[in-house]
Amino acid sequence: MNTPNTRSLEVDFFRGVVLLIIAVDHITGSVLSRFTLHQYAFCDSAEVFVFLGGYASAAAYTALATRRSDSAARRRFFKRSWEIYRAYLFTVFLMLIGGGLLMALKVDTPMVQYTEWPNFLARPFGLVFDIAILRQQPYLSAVLPMYSVFALAVPVIVPLAQRKPVVAMFGSLLLWLASTPLLQWLPGTYGEAWSFNPFAWQLMFMTGILARTQPISNEFHAGKLARWLTCGAIAIALTFAFFKLFLETQAPPGYMKQNLATLRIVSFAAVAWVVTRAVYKGWIAKLAQRLPGVVTIGQQGLVCFIAGAIVSLVLDSALRAMGVLGQGRYPSHWALGLIADGIAIGSLLVIARFWADRKAAKAAKSARVERKMPSRVMLINGKPVPVHASDRRDR
């Protein structure tokens, strides 16, 4: 999982799984969502996604810096930040269209409010401006502004994590401790627009970066302490699962997720360590090799996130329109929920494969053009002779 300058199969697999879970978790009436992480732990797919985002960002930055230069890696992540911001605007645009269609079709669903369509009708220019400066972040798009900020910070925090991991970790912890008062300085009324407080969630992103830049050695994994940690992590995970399944009477308040509460961090850490041990044993790699479609979803993360947001909105609204929600005890409604889950998963598999093939075709076309295009001219025996890129590589 920590091979330098290579893409991790396990990370792509986990990202694919998380993107699928995010899609089904946002379908009210989904059957599969009853068996996902949030039902058994005090964390959910958000922690996993942000952690993996930090890990993948560190891998990409270090690989590009090694292969080319630090300045090239910095430029790539500045560009990446802009790409994520554009993806956020595109997701918001699709959400608004979805809200407009739901209102036009007279579908009675709270999704209309979540998409901000009523606000758009009341003050279109004001809402567009607020969305652009991140004062308003409609349904399912709120994680993208945070990622855009993190991408800008990668050129600073990845080298720091490489050279001074202790400073990076304690600095991240201090920022997390101060995250609640800092939230009011973000665009929005006292930070209410931010479903994910970036000052808090950077701790999860930084943990992912440190996991990549300061990997756990095989010697540690083979030692007795690692086995004791595994036993402790399993005990914590089972205790939390028992509490969630049998003792919890109402969902935790939203601010616990917004500000990444300590309980969520502990819950994630327990689950993450058990999974890390499974990766070390090679079990996850074998599973990923059997499910290449899921790996492809993880490799096309941004596109699949947007697609998952739209698919979940459509399917949630369809189930609500059919009036099947809130009556899940009937077998027919279970069947409809499973059908919705199947459509969501199938859609992401198809979209990921299509996008991967599209990118591969563009890369192949660019390579053919580069081979044919003369990049400079050399004088040979007094005559100008074009030299192609492929000729330079051969030399």
Whether 4 shows a pLDDT value over 70: the answer reads no
- The greatest distance separating any two alpha carbons of the chain, rounded to the nearest whole angstrom, comes to 87
Q: Which phi and psi angles does 385 have, rounded to 5°?
A: -130, 125
Question: What pLDDT is recorded for position 324?
Answer: 60
The boundaries of the domain holding residue 220 are 9-394
Tens digit of each residue's pLDDT (9 = 90 or more) over 175-196: 999 999 999 888 876 567 788 9
Whether 44 shows a pLDDT value over 90: the answer reads yes
Q: Which phi and psi angles does 379 have, rounded to 5°?
A: -95, 120
Whether 6 shows a pLDDT value over 80: the answer reads no
152, exposed or middle or buried, with CB in 10 Å at 0-12, 13-18, 19+? middle
Interval 80-96 mean pLDDT: 94
Whether 328 shows a pLDDT value over 50: the answer reads no
Question: What pLDDT is recorded for position 338?
Answer: 92
Interval 291-320 mean pLDDT: 93
* Rounded Cα gap, residues 364 and 43, in angstroms: 41
The verdict on residue 176 lying in a domain is: yes
Cα–Cα distances (Å) from 54 to 59, 178, 205, 212, in that order, read 9, 21, 4, 8
Tens digit of each residue's pLDDT (9 = 90 or more) over 336-393: 889 999 999 999 999 999 999 999 998 888 777 767 665 555 555 555 655 554 444 4
Which single residue is written with the structure tokens 């914590």?
Answer: 236
Whether 395 shows a pLDDT value over 50: the answer reads no
The verdict on residue 250 lying in a domain is: yes
Question: What pLDDT is recorded for position 387?
Answer: 56
Which single residue is written with the structure tokens 């590589």?
Answer: 393
The verdict on residue 1 lying in a domain is: no
CA nearest to 172, candidates 272, 54, 275: 54
Instruction: Tell me if 186 sits within 8 A of 137, measured CB to CB.
Output: no
The verdict on residue 4 lying in a domain is: no
The verdict on residue 3 lying in a domain is: no
Question: What pLDDT is recorded for position 105?
Answer: 82
Counting the structural domains of the chain, the total is 1
Residue 150: how many CB atoms within 10 A of its CB?
Answer: 25
Whether 39 shows a pLDDT value over 60: the answer reads yes
The verdict on residue 100 lying in a domain is: yes
The verdict on residue 198 lying in a domain is: yes
Interval 25-49 mean pLDDT: 93
The verdict on residue 2 lying in a domain is: no
3-state DSSP of 77-120: HHHHHHHHHHHHHHHHHHHHHHHHHHHHCCCCCCHHHHCCHHHH
Minimum mean pLDDT range among 140-144, 172-176, 243-247: 140-144
The per-residue b/e assignment along 335-360, b for 16 or more CB within 10 angstroms, e otherwise, is: ebbeebbebbbebbbebbeebbeeee
